[in-house]
Chain A
Amino acid sequence: MSVTRPNILNNATALQKYCDGVKRLKNEFTGPTTQDLGIDGPAQPVSTYDLFVIWHVNAMMTATPANGNPEGRNAAHRGPVFLPWHRFMLRQLELNLQRVLGDQDFGLPYWDWAADGEGSPEDQLNSPLWRDDGLGGSGDPITTGPFVFDPNDDSSFRVRIDTDSDGNLEQVNRGLARALGEDRAAPTLPNKTDTASALQSGPYDASPWTVSAAGFRNMVEGWPNGPAMHNRVHVWIGGDMSPASSPNDPVFFLNHCNVDRIWEAWMQAGSNGRVYLPDQSAPNSLKGHRINDELSSLISAPTTPADVLDSTAQYVYDSLNV
């Protein structure tokens, strides 16, 4: 059965369920420990939510090709696999949220950041998303919203795993941090002109299949004239959205759900179709990014870019007006 993924700012029920589900996953411990996952310090149980954080960091630290370069491509970013890998990750989160919410109709919401990006810089900071009844606002740590840290309440939301300045996973115990609009590299969000431009771009990807490539994937990831698009959203939010452990902020998944929606809109627009590049005849230096290569996985069976190209049997978006 296909679920519908809604705009979180138009659907208070989806917002409430999303926050509730995230907190449940944050407090679910299925057995893996920090020791199992190679994280220094005493062996501590790792929550299901935090497994997503670790999965993202591990994929980012997996060089493709394995001997390093071209231009820092990794198993989830900076190359063709960026969109399918995150689609896979989002779907795993959605399945787990459905499970802990006991709601098979739950669809992961998206945040249409380009709509907010149409407003003034001040309006962007005042979006309902950042209010107390949204995801909370800025702060170090944040002091509003559903993810406020209370050191005296073990069940309150907290960051337990992050990455240090060298990119190493480490154990912490602190509140979530955001610095909305504070980074001079991204004082504003992307807007509808940016998304319209992305929809006009093509092909899906192209040689050299890196951050230097022409094509849709690189444009929506946000490297040309960057930080743009997806990258710009990370940098604009700042705080825990800045390092490799960015899934620590639940807004990570709302950002990527919108990126996935833009990809879906691109595939359904004009003559693009459900086309992915490179195909399997590409050289071994592109292993991990070819259409039938396994995507890096942690909490489920693996999949491939080919397997996720058409997700309409699993979910659709309430709108492809990106």
Chain B
Amino acid sequence: MMNAKSEAIPTPESIAKYVKQNARKALKASAMMMHHEGGQEIVREDDYKGHHVVVKTMYHITVDGQDVTGHIMLTNQGQVQYHGLPNHSFDSTIDLVRALIDNFPEDFDKKKPAMVHGGMTNVKMGGSGKHSMHMAKKAAKSSSKTGTGPKKKPAAKSKGAAGRGKSK
């Protein structure tokens, strides 16, 4: 039998009341996992035949020189997982980063410095990603707006990503 309080028929007023009550707690709890500027150390532990094993792994991922700061998880079987793509599992961290670039092309286009690798522009042309054409078009459209500093969240915006829409 479900809890009578949580089963109460919701109203617009009750929703507003509970959000006010719960939001701060939720924000505080979720803030702990959000960012890992400058890298993330992952500690895995195991007990085997009476021995306690601790494995510490340091990850510091950059793409075009910019930190990837989301929360990485490493299972005891060695699979790499990531909160930004919470249903995926990767054999390697390189595969993870490639999937991030595929799924969030605009994020990485936006972070990419204007000049990298000896003079190439930030307009991505081609590439093996399944959305490379989409990415190139997007980059071409927005190249003048591409920033080079740390990511700042803009106001409501349109967004392009692998399978994630961009519309104005």
- Stretch among A162-170, A195-203, A275-283 lining the B interface: A162-170
Q: Is the CB of A242 within 8 A of B167?
A: no
Q: Is the CB of A302 within 8 A of B68?
A: no
Q: Is the CB of A301 within 8 A of B5?
A: yes
A307 to B2, CA, bound (A): 5
- Stretch among A11-19, A105-113, A173-181 lining the B interface: A173-181
Interchain nearest-CB distance for A162 vs B (Å): 7
A314 to B89, CA, bound (A): 35
Q: Which of A32, A141, A168, A211 contacts B165 (CB 8 A)?
A: A141
Kindly list chain A residues whose C-beta atoms are within 8 Å of the C-beta of B26. 55, 58-59, 62, 296, 298
The 5 closest A-B pairs by CB, nearest first: A72-B73, A179-B163, A141-B165, A239-B163, A61-B30
Kindly list chain A residues whose C-beta atoms are within 8 Å of the C-beta of B6. 88, 91-92, 297, 300-303, 307
Q: Is the CB of A62 within 8 A of B29?
A: yes
Known: A32-B19, A74-B33, A165-B100. A69 touches B43 (CB 8 A): yes
Q: Does A131 touch B at the CB level, under 8 Å? A: no
A234 to B88, CA, bound (A): 9
Q: Does B81 touch A at the CB level, under 8 Å? A: yes
A309 to B11, CA, bound (A): 25
What number of A residues sit within 8 Å (CB to CB) of B? 100
Q: Does A101 touch B at the CB level, under 8 Å? A: no
Kindly list chain B residues whose C-beta atoms are within 8 Å of the C-beta of A74. 33, 83
Q: Is the CB of B104 within 8 A of A314?
A: no
Known: A61-B34, A299-B15. A238 touches B162 (CB 8 A): yes
Chain B residues engaging chain A, CB cutoff 8 angstroms: 1-3, 5-16, 18-20, 22-23, 26-27, 29-35, 42-45, 68-71, 73-77, 79, 81, 83-89, 100, 103-104, 107-108, 130-131, 134, 151, 153-168
- Which B residue's beta carbon lies closest to that of A71? B75
- Which of A72, A159, A182 has the largest count of B CB atoms less than 10 A from its CB? A72
Q: Which of A92, A165, A176, A238 contacts B108 (CB 8 A)?
A: A165
- Which B residue's beta carbon lies closest to that of A296? B26
Q: Is the CB of A63 within 8 A of B2?
A: no
Known A165-B103, A243-B84, A298-B18; further 15 A-B contacts with Cβ < 8 A: A32-B20, A41-B155, A42-B155, A48-B12, A58-B27, A63-B29, A151-B168, A164-B107, A166-B68, A166-B69, A168-B34, A211-B73, A242-B87, A242-B163, A298-B23
Kindly list chain A residues whose C-beta atoms are within 8 Å of the C-beta of B107. 164-165
A304 to B44, CA, bound (A): 29
Q: Is the CB of A164 within 8 A of B18?
A: no
Kindly list chain A residues whose C-beta atoms are within 8 Å of the C-beta of B100. 165
Q: Does A28 touch B at the CB level, under 8 Å? A: yes
- Which A residue's beta carbon lies closest to that of B83? A167
Q: Does A114 touch B at the CB level, under 8 Å? A: no
- Which of A140, A141, A162, A175 has the largest count of B CB atoms less than 10 A from its CB? A140
A227 to B15, CA, bound (A): 35
- Which A residue's beta carbon lies closest to that of B160? A140
**Chain A 204-237 interface mask (CB, 8 Å, partner B; 1/0):** 0000101110000000001100110011101100
Known: A58-B30, A63-B32, A314-B2. A141 touches B167 (CB 8 A): yes
Q: Is the CB of B156 within 8 A of A36?
A: no
**23 A-B Cβ contacts within 8 A?**
A41-B156, A57-B30, A62-B32, A70-B45, A96-B10, A151-B167, A165-B70, A167-B71, A171-B155, A175-B167, A177-B164, A179-B162, A223-B89, A232-B87, A238-B162, A239-B164, A240-B163, A243-B85, A296-B26, A298-B19, A302-B3, A302-B5, A307-B2
Q: Does A192 touch B at the CB level, under 8 Å? A: no
Restricting to A63-84, which residues have a CB under 8 Å from any CB of B?
A: 63, 66, 68-72, 74-75, 77-78
Known: A165-B70, A175-B167. A37 touches B23 (CB 8 A): yes
Interchain nearest-CB distance for B106 vs A (Å): 9
